[in-house]
């Protein structure tokens, strides 16, 4: 059955730890800790702003999370270095499996869209520099309704915007909260477990399928 596949971007298609080389050059062995703390705080800020009804775009959440992490870890990064890290975040690389898998999924007749907390402009630029923007039929951003995943309104917007039935729509994400949110909203969900150590949230709502990468997903969906 041909499906509409909505791919999360940050952490699923794009490696958010792509900043690690630059961070390690500045911070040494603390680079990985900084990268993980930054990513965690970025998502936390989006969740908190969503609950508060105090939306700002995801880029601002990312910058504010960077500022917090610098303060929390007392790394004392210069403003110039922070600007450079933000610029690096805008040109993060795709995971190696992504181009081949997307091409195969489209060859088999599936509709592929990028579906992100990032703005359309930021996501398009990111996918362009990663060389995969042509793999997508569309880009859907939460910025269009000023909400963040996993708000049910975001997944409803995806269906409305694409004019697709929930039963034929899959959310593909490496983030358990996203997969759970999609399932709660009536979509199918594929969890991309990019780390063998990554646990899934024990909420009782398992994804429809779990894969290690997108190549495996293309094989599973056929």
Residues labelled catalytic:
8
DSSP β-bridge partners for residue 138:
113
Sheet holding 188-192, edge to edge: 138-141, 111-116, 4-7, 169-173, 188-192, 209-211
Peptide bond into 150 cis (omega under 30): yes
């Amino acid at each position: 059955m041909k499906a509409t596949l909505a791919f999360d971007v940050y952490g699923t298609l794009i490696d958010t730890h792509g900043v690690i080389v630059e961070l390690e050059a500045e911070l040494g062995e603390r680079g990985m800790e900084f990268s993980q703390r930054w990513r965690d705080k970025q998502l936390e800020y989006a969740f908190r702003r969503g609950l508060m009804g105090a939306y700002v775009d995801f880029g601002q959440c990312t910058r504010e999370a960077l500022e917090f992490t610098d303060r929390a870890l007392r790394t004392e990064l210069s403003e110039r270095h922070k600007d450079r890290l933000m610029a690096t975040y805008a040109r993060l690389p795709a995971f190696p499996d992504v181009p081949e898998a997307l091409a195969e999924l489209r060859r088999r007749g599936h509709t592929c869209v990028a579906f992100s907390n990032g703005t359309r402009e930021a996501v398009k630029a990111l996918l362009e520099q990663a060389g995969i923007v042509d793999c997508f039929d569309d880009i859907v951003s939460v910025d269009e309704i000023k909400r963040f995943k996993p708000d049910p309104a975001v997944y409803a917007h995806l269906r409305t915007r694409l004019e697709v039935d929930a039963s034929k729509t899959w959310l593909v994400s490496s983030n358990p909260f996203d997969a759970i949110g999609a399932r709660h909203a009536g979509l199918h969900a594929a969890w991309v477990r990019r780390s063998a150590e990554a646990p899934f949230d024990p909420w009782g709502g398992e994804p429809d399928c779990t894969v290690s990468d997108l190549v495996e997903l293309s094989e599973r969906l056929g």
